[in-house]
A and B are shown apart, each in its own frame.
Chain A
Amino acid sequence: MNRTLSSPSPEAFGTDPWKTRIDRTFARALVLPLVLAIGLLVLLLGDTLYRSVSVQVVRADEGPGRTYPFGLAATEVLRQELLARGYTEEEARSLLQDPTERRVLFLQNRVELMWNTQEGPFRYVVTGLRDERVADFSLLEGLRRWEELKAGLGEGERLVLNPWLDQSFLTRTPSRSPLTAGIGVAIWGTIWVLSLALLIAIPVGIGTAILLEEYLREGTLNRILEVNLRNLAGVPSIVYGLLGLAIFVREMGLGPTILSAALTLGLLGIPVIVVTARESLRAVPESLRQAAFALGATRRQVVFRVVVPAALPGMVTGVILSAARLIGEAAPLLLVGAAAYVPFYPTGPLSEYTVIPVQIYLWVSMNIPEFARVAAAGILVMLLVLSGLYFLALYLRNRFRREW
């Protein structure tokens, strides 16, 4: 074959159909991973949503398995349920008026709104701690066999279309029964742990970023800090858990408490915040620093009156995204006490606690189909919180975007 260039003829500039085809195929193939990744996301979300709704037949421990019309107050529903269980008017009223009794009653009996029941759509049921599940079907199968199931209902049994993620799921405490398990304690645990962790990670992270970007752009200390941060960022999060277990839980004697968890998570968050804060400091043009210096500002005045205010929107966005990252961390907290069964709301930094992702892990690893539904509901809660934070960050990023 002649590989030297011949003198140009029109044919020499013709297209090579084979190569053109390779080119086009190659470009298309590159989009494949994106399609797969988005497909996975859709499947994940779809599966979670689908699993979080089910058709159930439940046998009430006491009472007739009645349902109550939409719009009634929770107390009224519970009063009617008590009457249906055979209490007298008098007894029901005294139970509901005594604050302690009332609290216990509401802990043991959950008023929940069902999307559909054997007595019609959107009605309340009262779920007791010892209610027993007879059958649990996925949405489509349950709907297909709805009439058949309705006909086969026994004494004290009810047929419901149960949306596992409902209002009362957000406030309930963990439970051994999937029917009454809720994520309330974990939500408050996450709020406590995250706020305290940010209290540590934000000053340290942003302070380090300022030191590296505004005071020590080169030199030995800069090198040491940078190398150290890069390696810290690569340490698996579970190793931070071991650190927390050895130092905070045992050495400092804090025990498996919110404080231990917050310290652990705070350290984990520092490298992430440093990276985002440095990016936003670097985005502030050098000319602003020069202008401030030329006006006779000291280093501190330049940094805190000009550079940091200019970088603030970026820093806030970075902190929100780091917070979102920390909310989803389960592994390190498993080691510092989050895996415990905690039926009480946290009251302070030294309370026992659990957090949302750990609660989800515990439910998933129960390996019981209905706990998988509870886990799905928990995942939806967590993803909702995360997407809220994500869009807040996106909004801030666009709202305060500056053209220098």
Chain B
Amino acid sequence: MEILKQRPSRNPKEVLTFALLVFLSSITLLTTLGVILSLVGDVAQFFRRVPLTEFLFAPEWTPLFADPRYGISPLIAGTFLVTLIALLVAVPLGLALAIYLSEYASGAARARIKGTLELFEGIPTVVFGYFALLFVTPLLQRVIPDLNIFNPLSAGLVMGFAIIPYISNVAADAMESVPRSIREAAYALGARPYEVALRVVFPAAISGIIAAIILATSRAIGETMIVAIAAGQRPILTLDPRETIATMTSYIVQAATGDQPTGSTGFYALFAVGFTLFLLTLFLNILAQYVVERYRERYE
């Protein structure tokens, strides 16, 4: 009979389509491979010239000096400082917004707020950098007279706003997935809305909330344009938010836009810093995924 045809897996069109799709998606794997390979080669070059101990423990980062030092700690300190300031802004605001979105906003309001957040996310960071340098810094200088023009304070403050959506979206998703029945149980015991939000929903969604904060941290560490414009490019080992500093990302920008001859140690230092940045953000992303998987409450 007619239905006794070949198995579909041997149909050449089907096989070809599948092969094409596999080929296309393999490019995403090649990208990861490319990132790692491109960094590893040049990082190896760097460490052939600069000992790892120097990179990790030297207190100065001065690749352009006559006697260059390659200690990454000033860049780490700068990154840490800006990230900390950004999180101090973004965590309370982002979490408050998430609670509002998941517990208080009506359907229409939620859609509108999410639209606004989408808009916020869509603003290029170079615009935030411009705003930090030319609007926020002069404003802050009136309050803090010895604030440097380039400073981590205004860069961090503005970056805090820029990463609010990353926290509020993920945290709101986590809180929204807490089942209705749990809320109703709390209400039935006479809890008030704020008690339900803070004592029931918030703890139940804690793993998602922690993941949101970790992801936002990773964003802040990797954020480039705001710090390159507003925080400055002077690697100094300090935690004073009024001083000009440099972060890992702003150093990469500085080195790449300056005239570092290809093949010089300074050029390879670029990749060493980039690799450190890559490892740090990768670690945070994996940590966030781990937290979600490991501590997910199961409602079934």
Given known pairs A211-B22, A245-B256, A300-B13, the reply for A34 and B218 (CB within 8 Å) is no
Q: How far is the CA of A243 from the CA of B37 in the complex (A)?
A: 9
Closest approach, in angstroms, between the C-beta of B296 and any C-beta of chain A? 16
Whether the Cβ atoms of A234 and B218 lie closer than 8 Å is yes
The residues of A that contact B29 with a CB separation of less than 8 Å are 224-225, 228
A374–chain B nearest beta-carbon distance, Å: 11
A127 within 8 A of B: no
Give the residues in chain B near A364, CB-CB below 8 Å. 126, 129-130, 133-134, 229
Identity of the chain A residue whose Cβ is nearest the Cβ of B38 in the assembled complex: A246
A44 touches B127 (CB 8 A): yes
Complex Cα–Cα for A250 and B263 (A): 11
Which chain B positions have C-beta within 8 A of A204?
A: 24-25, 27-28
User: Would you call A30 and B122 a contact (CB within 8 A)?
Assistant: no
Interface of chain B residues 96 through 139 with chain A (CB within 8 A): 96-97, 99-100, 104, 113, 115-120, 122-131, 133-135
B34 at the interface (CB under 8 A from A): yes
Task: Determine, out of A21-29, A98-106, A109-117, A158-166, the stretch whose residues face the partner at the interface.
Answer: A21-29
Residues of A within 8 A of B284 (CB): 234
Q: Give the residues in chain B near A232, CB-CB below 8 Å.
A: 28, 31-32
Interface residue A390 (Cβ < 8 Å from any Cβ of B): yes
With known contacts A26-B194, A236-B277, A357-B124, A250–B262 Cβ distance under 8 A: yes
A19 to B277, CA, bound (A): 47
B80 within 8 A of A: no
B229 pairs with A274, CB closer than 8 A: no
Residue B278 interfacial (CB < 8 Å): yes
Q: Determine the chain B residues whose CB is within 8 A of the CB of A237 once the complex forms.
A: 222, 224
**CB 8 Å contact bits of B270-288 with A (1 = contact, 0 = none):** 1100100110011011100
Interface: A241 (CB within 8 A): yes
User: B192 an interface residue at 8 Å Cβ cutoff?
Assistant: yes
Q: B17–A361 contact, CB under 8 A? A: no
In the assembled complex, how far is the CB of residue A302 from the closest CB belonging to chain B, in whole angstroms? Answer: 11
- Of all chain B residues, which has the CB nearest A222? B25
Determine if B285 and A234 form an interchain contact, defined as CB atoms under 8 angstroms apart.
Answer: yes
Q: How far is the CA of A221 from the CA of B22 in the complex (A)?
A: 10
Binds B, one of A58-66, A86-94, A375-383: A375-383
Q: Which of A31, A38, A240, A330 contacts B100 (CB 8 A)?
A: A31
Contact A357 B126 (CB under 8 A): yes
In the bound complex, do residue A246 and residue B42 qualify as a contact, i.e. CB atoms below 8 Å apart? yes
Minimum C-beta distance from A242 to chain B (A) = 4
In the complex, which residues of chain B have a beta carbon less than 8 angstroms from the beta carbon of A228? 28-29, 32
Q: Is the CB of A246 within 8 A of B281?
A: no
Query: Quick check: A331 and B249 within 8 Å, CB to CB?
Result: yes
CA distance A173 to B161 in the complex (A): 34
For B270, the closest partner residue in chain A by CB is A242
**Whole-angstrom distance between the Cβ of A332 and the nearest chain B Cβ:** 9
What is the size, in residues, of chain A's interface with B at 8 Å between Cβ atoms? Answer: 87
- The answer to whether B14 touches A47, judged by C-beta atoms less than 8 angstroms apart, is no
Interface centre among A229, A298, A300, A390 (most CB of B within 10 A): A300
- In the bound assembly, the distance between CA atoms of A394 and B92 in angstroms comes to 30
Instruction: Using CB atoms, name the residue of chain A closest to B21.
Output: A211
Would you list which residues of chain B between 222 and 268 have a CB under 8 Å from chain A? 222-225, 228-229, 249, 252-253, 256-257, 262
CB pair A236 B222 closer than 8 Å: yes
Question: Whole-angstrom distance from the CB of A278 to the nearest CB of chain B?
Answer: 12
In the complex, A230 has a CB within 8 A of chain B: yes
Q: What's the minimum C-beta distance from B148 to chain A, rounded to whole angstroms?
A: 13
Q: Is the CB of A243 within 8 A of B277?
A: no
Closest to A242 in B: B274
Contact of A328 with B161 in the complex, beta carbons under 8 Å: no
Q: Are B222 and A239 in contact (CB under 8 A)?
A: yes
Q: Is A1 an interface residue (CB 8 A)?
A: no
Q: How far is the CB of A366 from chain B (nearest CB, A)?
A: 11
Q: Are A203 and B24 also in contact (CB < 8 A) when A38-B116, A382-B124 are?
A: yes
* Contact in complex: B99, A30 (CB < 8 Å): yes
- Is A43's beta carbon under 8 Å from chain B? yes
Least CB distance from B22 to A in Å reads: 7
B134 and A372: CB pair below 8 A?
yes
Complex Cα–Cα for A247 and B41 (A): 11
Considering the complex of A and B, which 3 residue pairs feature the smallest CB-CB distances, nearest first? A236-B222, A328-B124, A207-B24
| 9 examples of A-B residue contacts, CB within 8 angstroms | A33-B93, A33-B100, A37-B161, A232-B32, A236-B277, A237-B222, A330-B126, A334-B257, A361-B229
Given A208-B24, A246-B38, A379-B127, 12 other A-B contacts at CB below 8 A? A33-B168, A37-B116, A47-B135, A231-B32, A242-B39, A267-B31, A328-B126, A328-B127, A331-B249, A361-B225, A386-B122, A390-B119
